[in-house]
Structure 1
């Protein structure tokens, strides 16, 4: 039985560093300035033989109003209520502050199991802070250094009996059921359907304040991500696993991406690079636009990035509920999409409202359809019959008077679909003819919007023995009166 551990404490006490240490990866953004973490980030942690879920939280602030800090505090308090165990972190070098004392009182009331840890406790400079931590009334503090990995054995010793306790409770509460294993074979579609164990990876990307976090909260049906009128609230690429009307999905909420020249802050640079990494891990990328200012230069760059990374793309236009002339606006959007993003011709363009939830069913269907197309496989026989028709309709060019011959075509890969054409002079094939074939593949094999990779490879007509020196057999050399070669 796994359990959930929430790491809580003031800003800049090292919660994200400890989170990264426990999950074994640099998932959470870490910086010296306080308040970098704003959302709740979950990860699968390993500590010895313990396996559990760890939650990185925003720093506990004293604000209780509807300000950004107040909303961050509410989200952290929610994590405390969700978790089985709370790990309360203080800064051993700074000692116990009045804020620590206040939050220790809150944790005593809200959580049944609280473990106290004094972080940054390496060296003699932290001794006074560790001793001072006893005054919080939460038992003996664990002396930790998340940065250097010190004190992990002590943390394990505190967690082990609690893990056994949760395991016993789970065993007592588990109903007796007859379980039958259903062996899944290959499905008819010929691709891996998303499952709970391996959900569909979807990244939601866009400019700041496009409504990405609000959209994911609406799909989840709860306020799991921090939202508000301020632009740039999200910093980490937060992943959430959910069932989206029967479709198992792991959804990434990413930080808003501004123009590179405008990004000066170090944390924002880290946030954008984290979002770019989420795009690379995703299978389907939802590019979220603002209906008021769609298809700005940055939107085009983001969509082009997803296409270059070979991801299936769905374009969603948010804040559609405040649009007046919807028909005219939709017509203009489609015209701009075809003109500005020809490399994504046929990709779905969905209008949604993250605030009201309108259009989310169409967005879900578009994501599933884009994933299916991304996994599409075409047989070699079909491809070569199609290639013959394309050559007849529009023969390839003849640079220098010699026509390029396209002899054979096959699909080399999926995710995204990649095709190889064997031809006589691939280096002389113009880009326009390759585009002609790619557009034909989209239309004739029903692959709208997905990136298609087409590679021309050489298939030479040359004699393989041409240029090789012929040797005369020894019998024939004697007959001709020639001695052995000198």
Structure 2
């Protein structure tokens, strides 16, 4: 990216709408309710041939205390310091109000470059607001409509001359999942380091859980700065925010998500949008950290969240937060492991790590668990080893024989990674019992050291089972007479 543009302004002036238009996707939540955005959200913007980083910020409030609005304001001021250019938006239909004048004065002192934008200025409705904006002393106002895309060419003409003044920055990459493997590739041992994270392709991690489990606090501790908004209030995070960092030598892109309550309790439109955004972040992730509260672990909602991550085929790590508050750690850990094995059998063997987001204890163990889970998620096994294992498994416990005819498992190969997927060629795959499929999956986990990772097992009918099964043959009349005489 060539430069960073921060969009700032009062609540509900259209900052998130403009952010979505610049990135070309509906990443930021948009609603008529003021104050929807609370955290800083970064995105890769595209404006004609311009490529740059854009930051969506919380609405500026005239509050400086430690309240939620005060913490949001400090985070926005931090974005102003981070950015190369600030786009200060006002509402063209409302015009300039006293808050706009206060914030214009702050930007004059803090920001090196400020562009004054008058949003919602389509038609005659915003003419008065655009004229009034001259009084802020920030130069010629730029009339735009983020919702309808008006004024984007004028914004381009302002930004284009500034492009060459800023250093080149790296571009994020979306991770690959369900990677197909050809039969020829399956015969060759995979490069052990092929999937290792790099700066261009960082390890994608999503942190999910119930409200107030400490997700934002944990991520701030991991990246070593107060990048995400935190506090005692439940449900502070609304957008799924991604942050790039280097964690103990591992390049990562980590997603903070909104707390997920039971579906019956989610009635407001904004909370529904927040939860949907968090679920979308899971689909972008490679490893999902399910964060639990040590005081109320493995509630029904925790189980649903963990099951969703597994069903999406992501590597899963269970992290139990607020471990510093627990007195009887030994007994509590044994209880947690017993509950995990009993309540989440589909994730048996997945890492269970105790951490304290407040003090930072256990983060080294969490890092190692995430790396191990990622390695397992990318694991490849040669066809030769798989068929040797399959022969031993069927010999130790033969497949069922429905109707007196034994099902034959003839051939096995790996067809996917991320997560590992296998195909077994067999006779009558539709009649194979679910219990025997679980027996094979558990055997794969144990023998090839793949604890916890989702395993996809597909059964296909052997192509040459009986090529004449459904064909009808015509017997010549001469042959029929000969057969009748006999």
TM-score (norm 1): 0.91
TM-superposition CA deviations, 1:421-446 (whole Å, max 9, x none) = 11111111111110010000000000
In 1, Cα distance between the equivalents of 2:348 and 2:115?
Answer: 55
TM-superposition CA deviations, 1:289-320 (whole Å, max 9, x none) = 00110000000000000000000000000000
In 2, Cα distance between the equivalents of 1:428 and 1:321?
Answer: 51
In 2, Cα distance between the equivalents of 1:452 and 1:199?
Answer: 23
Q: 1:136 to 1:256 in 2, by over 3 A?
A: same
In 1, Cα distance between the equivalents of 2:469 and 2:263?
Answer: 56
In 2, Cα distance between the equivalents of 1:271 and 1:188?
Answer: 39
SS of match in other structure, 1:161: helix
TM-superposition CA deviations, 1:396-432 (whole Å, max 9, x none) = 1111222211111111111111111111111111111
User: Any conservation in 1 of the 2:207–2:289 contact (CA below 8 Å)?
Assistant: yes
| Equivalent residue number for residue 156 of structure 2 | 156
| Equivalent residue number for residue 364 of structure 1 | 367
User: Any conservation in 2 of the 1:191–1:375 contact (CA below 8 Å)?
Assistant: no
Compare 440-449 and 459-468 and name the one that shifted more. Answer: 459-468
Where structure 2 has 5 or more consecutive residues not aligned to the other structure, the ranges are 169-188
In 2, Cα distance between the equivalents of 1:26 and 1:440?
Answer: 43
Residue 376 in 1 paired to residue 367 in 2?
Answer: no
In 1, Cα distance between the equivalents of 2:49 and 2:365?
Answer: 44
RMSD over aligned CA atoms reads 1.8
**Cα distance, 1:339 vs structure 2:** 0.3
Alignment of 1:432-443 (within 5 A): 432-443=435-446
| Equivalent residue number for residue 139 of structure 1 | 139
| Equivalent residue number for residue 465 of structure 2 | 461
In 2, Cα distance between the equivalents of 1:329 and 1:310?
Answer: 29
Where structure 1 has 5 or more consecutive residues not aligned to the other structure, the ranges are 171-185, 481-486
| Equivalent residue number for residue 42 of structure 1 | 42
Q: 1:187 to 1:463 in 2, by over 3 A?
A: closer
**Cα distance, 1:158 vs structure 2:** 1.7
In 2, Cα distance between the equivalents of 1:245 and 1:194?
Answer: 12
Q: 1:326 to 1:465 in 2, by over 3 A?
A: closer
TM-superposition CA deviations, 1:196-215 (whole Å, max 9, x none) = 11111110000000000000
In 1, Cα distance between the equivalents of 2:398 and 2:469?
Answer: 31
| Equivalent residue number for residue 101 of structure 2 | 101
TM-superposition CA deviations, 1:231-281 (whole Å, max 9, x none) = 100000001111111111111111000000000111110000000000011
**Cα distance, 1:188 vs structure 2:** 3.0
**Cα distance, 1:470 vs structure 2:** 4.9
SS of match in other structure, 1:124: coil
User: Any conservation in 2 of the 1:210–1:318 contact (CA below 8 Å)?
Assistant: yes
Q: 1:310 to 1:165 in 2, by over 3 A?
A: closer
TM-superposition CA deviations, 1:432-462 (whole Å, max 9, x none) = 1100100000000000000001111112632
Residue 287 in 1 paired to residue 287 in 2?
Answer: no
Higher Cα Rg, which structure: 1
Alignment of 1:10-159 (within 5 A): 10-159=10-159
Q: 1:465 to 1:299 in 2, by over 3 A?
A: closer
User: Any conservation in 1 of the 2:190–2:380 contact (CA below 8 Å)?
Assistant: no
| Equivalent residue number for residue 223 of structure 1 | 226
**Cα distance, 1:466 vs structure 2:** 6.2
Residue 238 in 1 paired to residue 260 in 2?
Answer: no
Alignment of 1:262-273 (within 5 A): 262-273=265-276
In 1, Cα distance between the equivalents of 2:453 and 2:164?
Answer: 49
User: Any conservation in 1 of the 2:414–2:420 contact (CA below 8 Å)?
Assistant: yes
Residue 339 in 1 paired to residue 349 in 2?
Answer: no
Determine which structure has greater relative contact order: mean sequence separation of CA pairs < 8 Å that are 6+ residues apart, divided by chain length. 2
